[in-house]
Every structure is written in C-alpha cells, then in structure tokens.
Amino acid sequence: MTEIKNKHVQLMQGNEACALGAIKAGASFFGGYPITPSTEIAEYIAREFPKLGRYFMQMEDEIASIGAMIGASMVGHKAFTATSGPGFSLMQELIGYAAVAEIPLVIIDVMRFGPSTGLPTMPQSGDIMQARWGTHGDHSIIALSPSSVQEAYYTTIRAFNLAEQYRTPVVVLLDEKIGHLREGFDISQDLEPEIINRADFVDKAATSAGGGKYLPFANTPSGVPPFVPLGQGERYHFTGLTHNQAGFYTADAEQVATFMHRLCHKIEDHVNEIAEVEQLDCAGADCVIIAYGAVARSAQEAMVELQSQGYKVGLLRLKTIWPFPAEQIREICADKKLVVMPEMNMGQLAVEAKAALIGSGVPFHSITQVNGRLIAPAPIMQAVIEQMAEHSVKQGGGR
Amino acid sequence: MEAVYEKYFRDNLPHIWCPGCGNGIVMSALARALDKLGYPQDDILLVSGIGCSSRMSGYMDLNTVHTAHGRALAFATGAKVCEPRLKTFVVMGDGDAAAIGGNHFIHACRRNIDMTAIVINNSIYGMTGGQFSPLTPTGKRATTAPYGSIDRAFNLVDLAKGAGATYVARGDVFHAAQLTNLLVEASRHKGFAVVEAVATCPISFGRYNNIPEPADMLFWLRDNTVTVQQAAKMSDEELTDKIIIGKHFETEAVEYCEEMARLLADKQADNEKAGDENEV
Ligand SMILES: Cc1ncc(C[n+]2csc(CCOP(=O)(O)OP(=O)(O)O)c2C)c(N)n1
Ligand code: SF4
Ligand SMILES: [Mg+2]
C-alpha cells in the first residue's frame, strides 16, 4: 500500500503514518540505521520506496546516514531518516553542517529514554534540547511534535514543506508512545495537503541577482536563498566553512556576521508562521496546561476531568517546539492564574515556557516524570488542584 | 597544457597550501586526468573531506562539496545514488579516509558505487599541524609521536582490496604523469576505485622527520618507490619500506547504482501490474 485508499478508516501506527507522510511529501531518498523505536519507518520505506522508484539505503551508521541524506538533498532530492536519541546524537555534527550549508532535510527522531542506552525503549521526551542545541555554534532549527497518529502524518508532510521553504534541517520529535501507538486513521474527508518544493522559490530574477551568476547563499529579503540543486548547470560550492554569498570561504568579519544573523533570523523572524499551537478552552480559563507530544493527550484528559469538577482549565498544545512560540504563550497565558507544564523529562521545555512568562506574574509549575512511563492524567490533575489551592484559585470562580 | 589549468580551476586563488606542498601536484594530475577523460564540467561532482588536501574542492571549477572531516564518502554516496549520471571524484586525506572516515571508507569499498576515491596520503595530519595518522609509518615522528610512532600503519591498498574495492592503485607526486594515468583508469573503471596518492608535506611531516626541503621529499619518493612490476620480482626483505606504485588490483563486480536501478525497475513493474489487477 503506497497511497492511502481514502475510503476507510484504518488502524495505523504513528511510525507508519510518518512514513506515509514522507511518501506523500515527495521524499525520494532515505538513509538510515536501525534503532528502536523508529525502525518501522525504515522497514516501511524499504518496502515501499522501490515500488515508487525512490531510493532507500541502509547506511553503516547514523553519521553516514545523514551524510548521504545531505548529498542526496544537494543534488535535489527530498531526503529523510528515522532515528532515536543515540543515533540523533551521532548526527549532530552534520546537522550543524546542514544548517550552515542550508540543506533541506527531515529527521524523524522517535524519542526514547536516555541518556545512553537508558531504558530501551521506554518513552521520554528526552531530545527537546538536543534538537535545539545539540550542535556547536549558533543556528536556528525547526522541530515539530505531533500528538496523534493522524497528526504524525500531517506533521511529517509539514516538516518536508518547512525544510524546503526555509532551506533547513527539520526535526520531527515523535514520542515513542505516538510512534508505536495504533489508532484510527481517516483522512478521507480532508483537503489535499499542500506540497512545497524548493523549486517553487527559484525564479529567474533570484538566480540572476549576482549579475548573471547564481548566488547559492544570496542575502535575499526573506533570508532564504533560492536553491538550485548541484549538478544542474550552476557549478558552485558547498562548504561548512563560513562563506560568502557565492559559497566560498570568508573570514571577513562583516560577511561572517551577516551570514550568521541571516542563518538565525531566517527562522526566528518567522516564528508566527512556523510555530503552531492549539488552544482548547484557554479563553476564560484560570489555569492553562501547556503540553506537547504524547503528554498532551494525558493533559487533555486531565483537563476534561477537571472541568467536570468545576475547574476552569484550558490546554495549550505546542505542535511546534522550535522555534519556540514564546510570544504566543505570553499572549495566551499572561492573564491566567496558573500555568502548569507536564513533561516526560526533567523539565527541558519548561525552562523556555517559564522564561516566556517572566514579568507576567503568572505562577508557573513544571510537572516532571522520568520513570519510563507516560505521564497519566491523574498526576496532572493532582498538580493542578494542589497548585490552584496554593495560589488560592477557587473552583469555578475568580480569585 | 595551460588550457587545462584555466578550464578546471576557479579564479579564487591564492590557495592555502604551503610552498612545496604535494597537494597541488595531485590537483594538477586530476585536472590533466579530467582533460583526458573529457567529461563536461557540469557533469562532474568533486566531494572532499576536511584537511589541507580536501581544500581542493574549493579551487576546482566543478560541482564541488567540501564536507566534514571523514564524511566525504557518505555525502558522495547519497549524491551519486540519486544522480548516477554525475562523474564522481572524492578527495580525502589519510586521516580523513583511514581514521575518522575509516568506517565509511570500508563500506564504500564494499558497496562498489561507481566513483573514484583519491586518498592523498602525506602520512600525517597536515591541517592540524603534524599529528600521526593511521598511515604514518611506524617509527616516524609527529607532534603527537615525539619519540616516533609506536602504532602500526594500515596498508591502504590491502585495506581497500580486502574491503571490496574493485580498482585499487597507488601513485605518488614524484611520478605525476603516472598518477594522472592512474586517475584516468580509475575513473573509467566501473565501480568503486581507490587511488592512494602518496604526497609530500614538508611542513608537518618532513620537518619532524629530517626531510624539511620539498625537493628532498620528492627525491625521497623517487628513491623509495618501486613499480608493481618491479616489486613482483623483489623479495619481502627488499621491499621493506618501499612504496609500491601502479595499478594493484582490478576486478569486475556488480555496481551498486546499476543494482539499485534494477531493483527499482522490477518493483515498479510489479507495482504497476498489481495496480492493473486491482482495477479489474
Ligand atoms: C570531527 C573533527 N575532528 C577533528 C577535526 C580536526 N582536523 C581537521 S583536519 C584533521 C586531520 C587532517 O589530516 P588528513 O586527513 O590526513 O588531511 P591533510 O591535512 O593531511 O591533508 C583534523 C584532525 C575536525 N575538523 N573535525
Ligand atoms: S601542512 Fe603539509 S599538507 Fe598542509 S598545506 Fe602545508 S605542506 Fe601541504
Ligand atoms: Mg594527511
């Protein structure tokens, strides 16, 4: 099955949905190395890609995997991989390379418990900060986190679209619980998803900006230079060295600074277009639960239960982790009486959320759990009730 | 002769190489080889790693990629598999190919993808100032082997052959014409071809090993190289410390991109058949 038969509701696994999403997005190269809990993606692609005339390669390690992906993307292919924490760590040097050389890539990181081999392969949202700061030096990155199987499909398509549009590696941070979850999948009533290709941004004017010569790293107004694949007549150069607009090494302080700022700003200046959040009953709520990934499902259950007990609770679900939607969080939460944030880690993203609320005076409570189990609704409810009491927010009423 | 230089080199000189460095000789051998091969420049992909030698990609007017230390073959693999029409050359240093990139090197040999891997072996980490590499001969001095290296060295020719490369040769920068011919032959070979180019690094190797003069290093190469044909008539004892140059090995084996094309054609045909049946 390569195309979804849009007729029936199917039972599907999150990892399979990612693979299907990649196929739909037009991915044509997969380079990977097996690691639980991501391997179903490689297996699915190994089976389906040949039938579609697309390339699947099992590489000798994760460094080779991302190296091959970068090579494939340079010559114009949409490349992706699926891995988990240990493999994601091995990829970091070349994720930095892809950021600097502005190579579109998609990495599906099905997160497992760490550090090291950890508790294989129990869930932990352990790679939140690794996705942001795993490489050396400064660059921005995009990371998305779906909360359901169907969303894993659309998130993967979006990851490819964003990679093409912003010329950047994009990470799908998939909780193991979503990767291995099987649930109903029905997109029969949905609109066809938009598919973005790097070629959409290449027009003649852009390529001739350099006086008839293609500038692969042009300082365009959007911050994203048009990408003409290597080997299609524009002979140019890729390097991990800081480079000028033509792509050649420069140590000129001004050019280096311009380049570095463009690299960060091409993403950070577009947070509102890139970062998606979902609000459930946040308006009028006393307490907002901020959650992402699998934990958002428990958080939603906790919210519903708390509401039935008379608490005014809303859920702010982060579908995008990086760039971090600080402004949106501030707008939604600044007038609340309490914000709680459950995470399957020691509070990696709470650091950012808390920082977003500095000066608002809203009490912020981070709920952490690192025992290899998904956070259940109960501890979230308990924390909300306790914190509401502590900050004397009455049930069903104002302060 | 001059036409060769103008055509294949970009106008962004000066290069970073020290006076007397052997890297330039390898680059000119490659330019001459490309001229003999006659591929359109637009169809040539040159991928390099990180090191003095790997800076070559920035100087040549081809489709060029300067990658990360040790990873050139991984990049080249993805690019070549997706675009088999690209005539692919990969330039690496000895540390690049045999130490940090050793895993990619043996697996590239095993896969037998049609490309030419040029390992510029100057027996040292040149770029970082002279630390020993897996190809530094035992006993030679380096900044991290001040008393002489106690490590054993790889024989890259044996390593490549053992790992499955289907063409293996060794040239050197004294015999530049032969090196050119080996590169031509390697590129014409269908499959993964390895050319070890023994090179001189007077600054980071010669200086620590009593041959600081570039010309003396070249003469040293002249005096210590023997051809494959000569070596066949020499005893192991006579061959101690000799560098054996020429084509060492060539064989035919299934080439990866062709095998991939076959698989894709088969499965697409199956898929279409299955599709037709479903429609009935
Ligand atoms: C991951 C990583 N480790 C270490 C280095 C530092 N480094 C740069 S070049 C090099 C060695 C170069 O030696 P070789 O590959 O033989 O190339 P040469 O400079 O001799 O041509 C090293 C260790 C690096 N750039 N990246
Ligand atoms: S250090 Fe050695 S290899 Fe590097 S440029 Fe100088 S002479 Fe050449
Ligand atoms: Mg070297």
Using the Cβ of B207 and the Cβ atoms of chain A, whether some distance falls under 8 Å is answered with no
Lowest mean pLDDT among A29-43, A201-215, A303-317: A201-215
Residue B126 lies in a domain: yes
Cα A269 from Cα A220, distance rounded (Å): 14
Please tell me the number of the ligand nearest to residue B203's CA. 2
pLDDT in tens, A151-197: 999 999 999 999 999 999 999 999 999 999 999 999 999 999 999 99
Positions in chain B short of pLDDT 50: 1, 280
pLDDT of the residue at A8: 76
Query: From the CA of A137, how far away is ligand 2's center (Å)?
Result: 27
Flag if A248 and B12 touch (Cβ within 8 Å).
yes
Q: What does pLDDT average to over chain A?
A: 94
Would an 8 Å CB–CB cutoff place A236 in contact with chain B?
yes
Q: What are the residue boundaries of the structural domains of chain A, listed by start? A: 4-185, 279-390
Percent of chain A with pLDDT over 70: 95
Domains A4-185 and A279-390 in one fold: yes
Q: In this complex, is the C-beta atom of A230 within 8 Å of any C-beta atom belonging to chain B?
A: yes
Q: Verify whether the Cβ–Cβ distance B103 to A60 is below 8 Å.
A: yes
Fold of A279-390: Rossmann fold (3.40.50)
CATH architecture of the domain with range A4-185:
3-Layer(aba) Sandwich (3.40)
Query: Residue A398 pLDDT more than 50?
Result: no
Preferred mutation among B60, B62, B75, B271 to probe A, highest tally of A CBs within 10 A? B75
CA closest to B46 among chain A residues: A237
* Pairs of CB atoms within 8 A across A/B: 136
CATH of the domain at B42: 3.40.50.970
Q: Among A79-88, A299-308, B12-21, B155-164, whose mean pLDDT is lowest?
A: B12-21
Cα(A267) to ligand 1 centroid in Å equals 31
* Mean pLDDT, residues A78-90: 98
Confirm or reject: Cβ of B126 under 6 Å from ligand 1.
yes
Residue B279 lies in a domain: no
Alpha helices in A269-313, H assignment, sequence order: 271-274, 295-308
Q: Would you say the CB of residue B134 lies under 6 angstroms from ligand 1?
A: no
Residue B131 lies inside a defined structural domain of this protein: yes
Name which residue sits closest to atom 5 of ligand 2, judged by CA: B17
pLDDT in tens, A328-364: 999 999 999 999 999 999 999 999 999 999 999 999 9
Category of B12 on φ-ψ map: left (φ > 0), alpha (ψ -120 to 50) or beta:
alpha
Q: Atom 2 in ligand 2: which residue has the minimum CA distance? A: B201
Please answer whether residues B157 and B128 qualify as being in contact, where contact means their C-beta atoms are separated by less than 8 angstroms.
Answer: no
For residue B279, what pLDDT is reported?
56
Q: Does B115 touch chain A (CB under 8 A)?
A: no
What does the alpha-carbon distance between residue A272 and residue A323 come to, in Å, rounded to a whole number?
A: 9
Secondary-structure percent of chain B, ordered helix, strand, coil, rounded to 5: 45, 20, 35
Full domain range(s) for residue B213: 5-254
Q: What is the mean pLDDT of residues A1-17?
A: 77
Model confidence at A6: pLDDT above 70? no
Query: Which residue among A61, A71, A76 sits closest to B77, beta carbon to beta carbon?
Result: A71
Whether the CB of B268 is below 8 Å from some CB of chain A: the reply is: yes
The predicted pLDDT at position B275 comes to: 81
Tell me whether residue B23 is in a domain: yes
**Top mutation candidate among B50, B91, B118, B154 for ligand 1, by most atoms within 8 Å of CB:** B50
CB A31 within 8 A of CB A68: yes
For A237, name the nearest residue in chain B, comparing CA atoms only: B64
Give the total number of structural domains in chain B.
1
Q: Which residues are within 8 A (CB) of A276 and not within 5 positions of it... i.e. 6 or more apart?
A: A319, A320, A325
Question: B57, B76, B66, B50: which is closest to B9 by C-alpha?
Answer: B57
Q: Distance (Å, rounded) from C-alpha A131 to C-alpha A84? A: 11
Q: How would you classify residue A80: left for phi > 0, otherwise alpha for psi between -120 and 50, otherwise beta?
A: beta
**Residue A213's pLDDT is what?**
84
Residues 6+ apart with CB under 8 A from B159: B98, B105, B106
Helix (H, G, I), strand (E, B) or coil at A38: coil
Task: Please tell me if residue A304 touches chain B, with a CB cutoff of 8 Å.
Answer: no
Closest ligand relative to B68 C-alpha: 1
Token reading at A169: 């590696």
Q: What pLDDT is stored for residue A1 in this prediction?
A: 46
Is the peptide bond preceding residue B134 cis, with omega within 30 degrees of 0?
no
Is some CB atom of chain A closer than 8 A to the CB atom of B77? Answer: yes
A positions 98-127 inside 8 Å of B (CB): none
3-state secondary structure A62-74: HHHHHHHHHHHHH
Q: For residue B79, give the nearest of A65, A74, A233 by CB distance.
A: A74
CA-nearest residue for atom 4, ligand 1, is B69
Q: Whole-angstrom Cα distance, residue A104 to residue A92?
A: 15
Residue ranges near ligand 3 (ion) with Cβ within 5 Å: B 93-94, 122, 126
Tell me the average pLDDT across A197-218: 79
Q: What are phi and psi of B7, to 5 degrees?
A: -75, -40
pLDDT score at B13: 74
